[in-house]
Structure 1
Amino acid sequence: MANACFLAVVRLLAALCLAALAFVVLFVAIEALPTFEEVSLSDFLLSGEWMPVDYVGATSFGIANFVAGTLAVSLLALLFATAVGVGAASFLAAAADGRVRAALLPLVDLLAGVPSVVFGFVGIEVVTPAFRHAGVSTGSCVLAAALVLAAMIVPFLVSSVTESLMEQSRRYATSSDALGVSRWHFLACVGIPASWRSILMALVLAAGRAMGETMAVMMVIGDANLFPTLLGKGESIAALIALEMGTAEVGSTHYHALYAAGLVLVVLVALVNLAVWALRRALVKGGE
């Protein structure tokens, strides 16, 4: 009886989570639809002109630069975070002894809980001055935002990948020790290949976090409607919404266009998840 009640509660909670997600997506979609009564979908997605207020005799709503900025910052951050995160997790799993691991893992988890605005302040005080000294005019650029964002998602990757590598180590430790295999050789040839599913899922979650991050990116990217270049300014979709939603008149095209931009962000995150799911399925079939 207790098991049946527990199962019913779990199913109810799962259904509520799905219903909440569906409600959010539906609400954003309904608020976004009025945009396309005045702006064509192609202009909205492919144009880089964003002028929500009629200063020059016409308004324009094109988010191509914001989409490009979101993808550029997120992909760069994932690239940096993957290299550092998997490397740190490999050290914790293969080289660190039990006491060092027990001391460092709680610190990693604590770092993962630091508010994003704190990372933004560090970016303003440390990262952007370094870029100014390197010759970037204001120090704010896409690369600076990617570095700050990478620092935010590294703790999550380290925690997830370390747990997966430790699980593989516990599973095969006796056999590898009996064969005289070194820890690093075991990790490179067995641990990481056997943990690729967990690493891939951690990257998916990190990608969702990176694409939706607002404050830290907004504080160091420069917030300019420009096509992103490595040392140039840019702006992400999340930063656009955070900067302009408070000044957009409710019911205006500007207001609905910001919801449409949010819907595009949701679709991008969903596409990333679908692509990784398809890749994982293909790899599983290829390994059979």
Structure 2
Amino acid sequence: MLEYFNTIKNNNAYIKEAIFSLFITIVSFLCIIVLAFIIFFIVKESIPILKHIGIYNFVFGKVWRPLAFGVSESYGIFYIILATIYTAMLSTLISLFIGIGFSIFLVFIANDFVRSFSLSLMDLIVAVPSVIYGFIGLVIIVKFFERVLNMSAGESVLAASILLSFMILPFIISTVTESMIVLKKSYNNVSISLGVDKWYMVLKLILPNSKNAILVGFILAVSRALGETMAVMMVIGNSLVFPRLLGKAETIASLIALEIGMAEVKSMHYSALFASGAVLMITLSIINIFVHFLKKYLLKLEL
């Protein structure tokens, strides 16, 4: 009788596992279909402008003048691409060093209460709407540049990068801290028994073995930085010129947000904005592929 009930119990567990597996498979398949339709729609809407001026002229053109009808009409986003990459990379580098240092503090210096409170605060920072960050950037960062650096206008690439670095910091801190907590449990007792200094352990064991978590945090941070719209739009100046550290610029996300509402549907301007979105997706994909191969290369070096 006991074997009979055990068989029924095992069969029920198998059925539940099969149903859950089927559910996950269906949801994953639906997500892939939705993503495929989104990509198809963006590419479809981008084709008219690419046929009109060509991919090279669109990507490497330096003048964006969609509303000047006639011979002076131009759709070049090269400076906009540079500003997008410049802002995202600078903000990620700023937050990467701060995030790694703060993760070391949380894991090896702070007590459990401070660590738990800080990680909860990171979740709260992520939940704050980006327009709030934009207002903070205008009131604090932009005004600081105007008063301290005597800039006529504080809106700049540096202001946007500093603001973005604060917004993407939680992604790096959460990822790296979780990895370091696991590594500390693995190495701490052994290091203490061997008389190894704590900071030597951090430098020689924890940081080298945290590189995968750092790369994951880097990808998450870059992805957020490349796609951020409202906060960046409010502090970067939105000027279609070559991006300089203390100069104004405009990112792809800001361009789309500012002009999609006034672009006539099915016009070249409308198509150019969709093509800009396609370029943004491709840029993000290239960065992810590069980091993926970098991760594989680092693993080969270990072997």
TM-score tier after normalising by the smaller chain length: over 0.9
Q: Secondary structure at the match of 2:53?
A: coil
Match of 2:77 among 63, 67, 83: 63
Please provide the CA RMSD for this pair.
1.2
CA shift for structure 1 position 172: 1.8
**Residues 81-92 of structure 1 mapped to structure 2, 5 A cutoff:** 81-92=95-106
Distance 1:239 1:102 in 2: 35
The aligned counterpart of 1:100 is 114
Aligned length: 288
Distance 2:191 2:27 in 1: 42
CA shift for structure 1 position 55: 5.5
Which amino acid counterpart does residue 49 of structure 1 have in structure 2?
A: V
CA shift for structure 1 position 42: 1.1
Match of 1:212 among 227, 241, 254: 227
Which amino acid counterpart does residue 72 of structure 2 have in structure 1?
A: A
Report the TM-score, using the length of structure 2 for normalisation: 0.92
Distance 1:104 1:41 in 2: 47
The aligned counterpart of 2:212 is 197
Q: 1:95·1:183 contact (CA, 8 Å) conserved in 2? A: no
Q: 1:89·1:158 contact (CA, 8 Å) conserved in 2? A: yes
1:190-231: per-residue Cα shift (whole Å, max 9, x none)? 111111111101111111110010011100000000110000
**Residues 267-286 of structure 1 mapped to structure 2, 5 A cutoff:** 267-286=282-301
The aligned counterpart of 1:22 is 36
Q: Secondary structure at the match of 1:38?
A: helix
Residue identity (%): 39
1:213-252: per-residue Cα shift (whole Å, max 9, x none)? 0011100000000110000000000000000000000010
Matched, 1:168 2:183: yes
Structure 2 regions of 5+ residues with no counterpart? 1-14
Distance 2:110 2:253 in 1: 38
The aligned counterpart of 1:235 is 250
1:235-285: per-residue Cα shift (whole Å, max 9, x none)? 000000000000000010000000000000000000000000011111111
Matched, 1:244 2:259: yes
CA shift for structure 1 position 10: 1.4
Matched, 1:137 2:152: yes
Which amino acid counterpart does residue 142 of structure 1 have in structure 2?
A: V
Distance 1:11 1:179 in 2: 48
CA shift for structure 1 position 181: 2.5
CA shift for structure 1 position 159: 1.2
CA shift for structure 1 position 37: 2.1
Structure 1 regions of 5+ residues with no counterpart? none
The aligned counterpart of 1:4 is 18
1:112-148: per-residue Cα shift (whole Å, max 9, x none)? 2111111111000000011111122110000000000
Matched, 1:124 2:107: no
The aligned counterpart of 1:183 is 198
Q: 2:175·2:216 contact (CA, 8 Å) conserved in 1? A: no
The aligned counterpart of 1:34 is 48
Q: 2:158·2:246 contact (CA, 8 Å) conserved in 1? A: yes
Match of 1:264 among 279, 296, 301: 279
Report the TM-score, using the length of structure 1 for normalisation: 0.97
Distance 1:28 1:88 in 2: 39
Q: 1:109·1:156 contact (CA, 8 Å) conserved in 2? A: no
CA shift for structure 1 position 70: 0.0
Q: Which moved more, 1:231-240 or 1:103-112?
A: 103-112
CA shift for structure 1 position 57: 4.9
